[in-house]
A and B are shown apart, each in its own frame.
Chain A
Amino acid sequence: MKISKLLTMGLMVGSLGFIGCTDDEDPVTPTTVESLNAPTNLKANSKDDKSVTLSWTASASETNANFNGYEIRYDGLPYDYTATAGNTTVTVSGLSDGQHVFTVKALSKDTTLNKNSAEITIAWAPAWRFTKNINDEDIVMYEYTSTYGSGLNLFDEAGEAPKCLKVASIEEWTVGISTKNDGEILFGPAAALGLNGSDGTTKYVQISSPLEANSIDDIFDSEALSARTYLANNVAVDLANITTSKAGVVFYVKETLTDGSTRYAKLFIYKGTNGWLNGSGTDEYVKVGAISYQKNLGLPYAKVAAK
């Protein structure tokens, strides 16, 4: 009898204890795993004929405990590189000629969420990068009084590089300079420079307003180059009027061919320590630091589309 009482009491105490333990535990609350915010403001810059550099604004989720870097894809294929938090540029190399679609998205440690997480996309193309002319010399445009050329053909088919040209070949110029008037260093299409020697046939070229930069690599794009504002074909920019604390300026160049197709380029002009003209005597020159030239017509063409 005593034993049965003891067992009953034991069971009761045990039950109370069990109930008590349950009450003491924290309530189980289901954790919500948030999907990560996409990076924003994706931009591109053609580095050379096989590489495009991408730049973006960090995802607002970088501080999220689940943030696990950025995945970069091109043409749907994963690029063998994952950018970590705080790293918002990548150069995608080994590209073929023509336009490619690049995608960047924030990765979560919870891989099940990655498939449908937000991403940002841009279409862009690699472009040829030149720092030397067809004669393997610096790319320069000489002043009006020089016996050397004041103009540039941004891409000479025979030499497969930019070519410096004299006024006698002005019909081949893409852009050039004129220092004919004192104090002026006009830069622009041949039609805008008022130089003699032209037989009236010049390329239809337009340039943009200058953008201050330390290098051509500083200038990224997020919009179609065709959407940019270009000056008229007969308008040049006077470099002498440009003051900048940076190493120089970048101009966009748009050439419209006779069949209406367009070709784009970017050109970085150095501002020397003594101004835009370098050298001495009658052979002073404006130095072009780099030219990004798109061989394919109509490219590069930036197009941003959020998923």
Chain B
Amino acid sequence: MKKLSIIFCAIALVFCCTMSDANAAPKAKKYTGTVVALTDYIKGTETLTKAEAVEKAEKGIPVVLKVGTTKAGKLYFVINEDGSFGGKNLAKYAANKKVIVEGIKKIKNGVNYIIATKISSGD
């Protein structure tokens, strides 16, 4: 009987913890990468100056975060907290060797994006 009680308590505890995690808001994490223009990335030419990045972002060409050093690094669209596209803010960091985007990662319809709370230099 005692054993059953202990097992029951343990299951209840695990269940509570799981529920608590499920209800908790996802925590912001830091994603370090480089700034690339989506069109350049598709063409395989990733070198981008700050001026070029800002110009592309102004023209509406998506400027995104590439995480990972390999050629096939993972791409993240950066979204501002107000829901607007964060390409213009990200473009300012194109001259940095590393840029850190702090925020919550989400995936929708196979598209990775980060709701950014802060963008900073990683250099």
Contact = CB atoms under 8 A, between A and B. Distances in A.
Interface of A: 134-136, 148-149, 156, 158-160, 163-166, 169
Interface of B: 49-51, 92-93, 95-96, 120-121, 123
A135 B123 contact: no
Contact of B50 (A148, A158, A166, A169): A158
13 contacts: A134-B95, A134-B96, A135-B92, A135-B95, A149-B123, A158-B50, A159-B96, A160-B50, A160-B95, A163-B96, A163-B121, A163-B123, A164-B123
B93 A135 contact: yes
A159 B35 CA distance: 13
Question: For chain B, what secondary structure do more than half of its interface residues adopt (helix, strand, loop), or is it mixed?
Answer: loop
Contact of A169 (B49, B51, B92, B123): B123
Contact of B121 (A149, A158, A160): A149
A293 B66 CA distance: 33
A169 B121 CA distance: 12
Contacts of B51: 160
Given A134-B95, A135-B92, A135-B93, A159 B120 contact: no
Contacts of B123: 149, 163-166, 169
A164 B95 contact: no
Interface centre among B50, B96, B123 (most CB of A within 10 A): B123
B29 to A, nearest CB: 14
Closest 4 A/B residue pairs (Cβ) = A159-B95, A158-B95, A135-B92, A134-B95
A164 B121 contact: yes
Nearest to B119: A135
B49 A158 contact: yes
Nearest to B100: A147
Contacts of B96: 134-135, 159, 163
A257 to B, nearest CB: 21
Contacts of B93: 135
Nearest to A132: B92
B92 A136 contact: yes
B18 to A, nearest CB: 32
A148 B121 CA distance: 8
Nearest to A148: B120
Contacts of A156: 95
B28 to A, nearest CB: 14
B3 to A, nearest CB: 49
Contacts of A160: 50-51, 95
A160 B93 CA distance: 12
**Which of A149, A159, A165, A169 has the largest number of chain B CB atoms within 10 A?**
A159
A159 to B, nearest CB: 3
Contacts of B95: 134-135, 156, 158-160, 163
A164 to B, nearest CB: 6
A166 B123 CA distance: 6
A259 B95 CA distance: 27
B55 to A, nearest CB: 14
Given A149-B123, A164-B121, 20 more contacts: A134-B50, A134-B92, A135-B92, A135-B93, A135-B95, A135-B96, A135-B121, A136-B92, A148-B120, A148-B121, A149-B121, A156-B95, A159-B50, A159-B96, A163-B96, A163-B121, A163-B123, A164-B123, A165-B123, A169-B123
Contacts of A166: 123
Contacts of A136: 92
B88 to A, nearest CB: 11
A146 to B, nearest CB: 11
A135 B97 CA distance: 12
Contacts of A159: 50, 95-96
A286 B31 CA distance: 26
A160 B92 CA distance: 12
B38 to A, nearest CB: 21
